[in-house]
């Protein structure tokens, strides 16, 4: 396959870092977006297979910062062939025990990054995407979009909205041969999930799957790689549940 230019939001660690490794190993050129972890992003960039990878910073709650970040990627690479909307935040804000100010702050932060930020990155990246069958957009959703997230309702709502967003733009971009899909994982072994997986509740979380474990970031990366491939066009609009049978739906 011809080398592609891939922008991964939240690419400096966890799922995003595994995705970067997977695409770089296949010969693609990677733009690692990060919010605050410049050291981590640079360490990942320097260790990726291949060359000409870059790290770019932006607060995804800031539309202008997003525009400048995407334009920098396009300036370095010439075009953006694949966008992976991976960046996401999760904060505890159960409705029954959160103050009104905490509630508002959580919703603004989580929806601002997970949904509005992803939408803005997508609009900006589209301006530099070839309108052909090699261009792909993959959104990282969550099983929480379907089963609910009582401790973090803004997270569940943002991931449900990402599904609807992906399906909407899948229809809009199909005439341009740009495929859009969503991966919906359950728990994954990442820094974000470590505080729960390493706590007493960790065993119960692993037991949610009949495999009695949670996903590895590398497993998600391989699924994303397929969804971003040229062979995935007919999957456009689809949501791939990727949770080890921990949550099943029709």
Q: Which of the residues are catalytic?
A: 155
50-216-70-57 Cα dihedral, nearest 10 degrees: -90
Strand partners of residue 31? 7, 54
Contacting residues for 25 by C-beta, under 8 A, at least 6 apart = 49
Residues 126 and 172: beta-carbon distance below 8 Å: no
d(CA 224, CA 74): 22
Bridge partners (DSSP) listed for residue 240: 183
Backbone region of residue 10 per phi and psi (left: phi > 0; alpha: psi in -120 to 50; beta: other values): left
Angle at 183 between CA 179 and CA 185, to 5 degrees: 180
CA pair distance 18, 248, nearest whole angstrom: 25
């Amino acid at each position: 396959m011809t080398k592609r230019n891939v922008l991964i939001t939240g690419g400096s660690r966890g799922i995003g870092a595994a995705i970067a490794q997977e695409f770089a190993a296949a010969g693609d050129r990677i733009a690692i977006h990060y919010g605050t972890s410049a050291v981590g992003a640079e360490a990942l960039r320097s260790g990726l297979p291949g060359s000409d990878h870059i790290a770019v910073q932006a607060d995804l709650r800031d539309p202008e910062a997003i525009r400048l970040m995407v334009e920098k990627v396009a300036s370095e690479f010439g075009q953006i062939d694949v966008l992976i909307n991976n960046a996401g935040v999760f904060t505890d804000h159960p409705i029954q025990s959160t103050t009104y100010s905490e509630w508002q702050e959580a919703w603004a932060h989580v929806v601002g990054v997970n949904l509005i930020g992803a939408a803005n990155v997508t609009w900006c990246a589209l301006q530099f995407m070839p309108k052909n069958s090699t261009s792909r957009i993959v959104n990282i959703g969550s099983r929480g979009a379907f089963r609910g997230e009582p401790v973090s309702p803004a997270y569940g709502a943002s991931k449900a909205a990402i599904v609807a967003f992906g399906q909407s733009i899948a229809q809009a971009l199909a005439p341009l041969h740009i495929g859009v899909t969503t991966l919906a994982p359950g728990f994954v072994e990442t820094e974000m999930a470590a505080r729960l997986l390493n706590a007493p509740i960790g065993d119960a979380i692993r037991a949610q799957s009949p495999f009695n474990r949670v996903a590895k970031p590398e497993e998600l990366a391989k699924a994303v790689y397929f969804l971003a491939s040229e062979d995935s066009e007919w999957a456009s609009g689809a949501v791939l549940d990727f949770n080890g049978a921990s949550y099943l739906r029709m």
